[in-house]
Structure 1
């Protein structure tokens, strides 16, 4: 009898998770990677509940708080804790939507406080130095140059760059069409310099191997399919090292730099939000913090009072 009950509970749980997966895919329009991350984080909670002999439909706020405290106790970074809790809140929201529960015990569950961290930003000169470090004598040289110019010119996420299609390039109009998070599309202006670099790359691309099914992708690996995020990450790391840049950078650094330079040039925050594909203006506002910090540095460096103070200290 007990075995039958356990089997029924297992089947019920599997059905709920399957329906939650469908909800993430169809209702939220999340990518495969995002769905996998949500389910991985949910599995942590399910294991905890199983150990505590708590039914998933009978969870209360105290249970969730004990789970969250456990994440802290085993040393999981606050940012990762916050992500896991966000996923759990999404799951319990689904349970109420799907009428599995009348209440949502996660509503009052708090995420850990995360200190504000300013992302690394490259100067225009540093970006030019990295691009100049590309060896155009190599087969993939022009491709890499076009990749860097496109990342910086358009402020793309690396996944958006890897999935960019030829059919989404509108060079005559000066735009590209990008599919961002949740399959949301947006038009992004592209610079004449990036257009020029991509056109040079297309000459090489069309002479190389192209796998069936990848004919429409802009940036291809040498074996004929579209490039991966890992490839772009390693390429940027190697070029930064070759250029003597010691900052800890990634493809996302080009996106941060793009937004920061736009803001410094006087661009409207809402316009930057549209360019980056941010749903919330709050996400974009991180760049105002960068701008204020840079302004402060400029004042400290160049204000007459500070120059005089430094000279007096040097004299003494």
Structure 2
């Protein structure tokens, strides 16, 4: 069965097919043979869908090469210039969001509708914060595709990420939990990284970005940090308790302090799924990574540390300077305060 007009046709293919209706359009004529030059738009489940696809094309013709562009292709093209303008922390967030919607990667972006995006959000096992990042990524991807005439409609605006069912509280590790972490230092892999975050205030992303070149074992300091202007390149004295942990991981032949089993930089999502969550489950603790940073601030506060020193070490937004110049006196003041933590 074939229905045609001067510009295209709908043909039902033989056999038992899931999408039996083939739509082709006529792009022109071969001057030598006199035959039509035709291109396939796609295949469809019903004749009604096929007729609509043909009618839509004839109403507003589009570049059929663009029609085959995938979500992954647009992401790659969008991310190249984007990642040159944002922080490493933002890049980690975008990459994590992208990794959580793997089923969309090889779909043609023109075929992705609101229901596909909603299913990706609904099937994501992560929390509200991750789903917000995914929705924001969708908005960026679809905006880029529209700007480059790949699609004509942005479905990302119709996505509902829902609401968190429980209040998003930050719970610091208590004394018994910290003692338990130390107790299992030698028998649970990567538990040292949790302790390093608790005694330094570094976020996961900041710890994974910490370079060997920015660790001074002589002065016992670390220079790192991401996100805010106040948080970037902040100096944190290495607490005596975690100095042996830092020293053990320190390898001048590596670029980063924390590396995977291949000796490569660890990805945020891999660390969180493969290291942090299993540690918490094994010790029957219910904490999120950011609780480590909150614990550091709480320990400093409970030890009556100087408020300015606390702001400097955790990278609080209220402490911003044009240039961070740490004198010997500054370093000793920070060290004195961090060592108040017992």
TM-score by length of 2: 0.51
Gaps of 5+ in 2: 1-24, 26-38, 42-62, 320-342
Which residue of structure 1 lines up, in the alignment, with residue 276 of structure 2?
Answer: 233
Q: Does 1:178 align with 2:217?
A: no
Give the structure, 1 or 2, with the largest relative contact order (CA under 8 Å, sep 6 or more). Answer: 1
Q: How does 1:271-310 map to 2 (within 5 A)?
A: 275-276=313-314
Q: Does 1:28 align with 2:75?
A: no
Give the aligned CA root-mean-square deviation in angstroms.
5.2
Q: CA deviation at 1:122?
A: 1.1
Q: What are the superposed Cα offsets for residues 131-164 of structure 1, whole Å, 9 maximum, x if unpaired? A: 13334xx8x99x965x454221112223433443
Q: Does 1:156 align with 2:202?
A: yes
Number of equivalent positions:
252
Q: How does 1:14-93 map to 2 (within 5 A)?
A: 16-30=74-88, 33-40=92-99, 41=101, 44=104, 47=107, 50-51=110-111, 79=128, 80-92=130-142
8 Å CA contact 1:42–1:87 kept in 2: the answer is: no
8 Å CA contact 1:162–1:226 kept in 2: the answer is: yes
8 Å CA contact 1:171–1:195 kept in 2: the answer is: no
For residues 131 and 246 of structure 2, the distance between their equivalents in structure 1, rounded to whole angstroms, comes to 44
Q: CA deviation at 1:106?
A: 6.0
Q: Which residue of 134, 154, 168 corresponds with 2:185?
A: 134
Q: Which has the larger radius of gyration?
A: 2
For residues 49 and 200 of structure 1, the distance between their equivalents in structure 2, rounded to whole angstroms, comes to 48
Indicate the SS of the match to 1:261. Answer: helix
8 Å CA contact 1:93–1:104 kept in 2: the answer is: yes
Q: How does 1:3-22 map to 2 (within 5 A)?
A: 3=40, 5-11=63-69, 16-22=74-80
8 Å CA contact 1:122–1:253 kept in 2: the answer is: yes
Bigger strand fraction: 2
- Identify the range of structure 1 (25-34 vs 149-158) with the bigger mean alpha-carbon deviation: 25-34
Indicate the SS of the match to 2:233. Answer: strand
8 Å CA contact 2:256–2:265 kept in 1: the answer is: yes
Which residue of structure 2 lines up, in the alignment, with residue 123 of structure 1?
Answer: 174
TM-score by length of 1: 0.54
Q: CA deviation at 1:254?
A: 2.3
Q: Which residue of 280, 294, 297 corresponds with 1:256?
A: 294
Indicate the SS of the match to 2:40. Answer: helix
- Provide closer, same or farther for how the CA distance between residues 251 and 88 of structure 1 changes in structure 2, counting only shifts above 3 A: closer
8 Å CA contact 2:146–2:153 kept in 1: the answer is: yes
Gaps of 5+ in 1: 55-63, 282-316
For residues 105 and 163 of structure 2, the distance between their equivalents in structure 1, rounded to whole angstroms, comes to 20
8 Å CA contact 1:236–1:250 kept in 2: the answer is: no
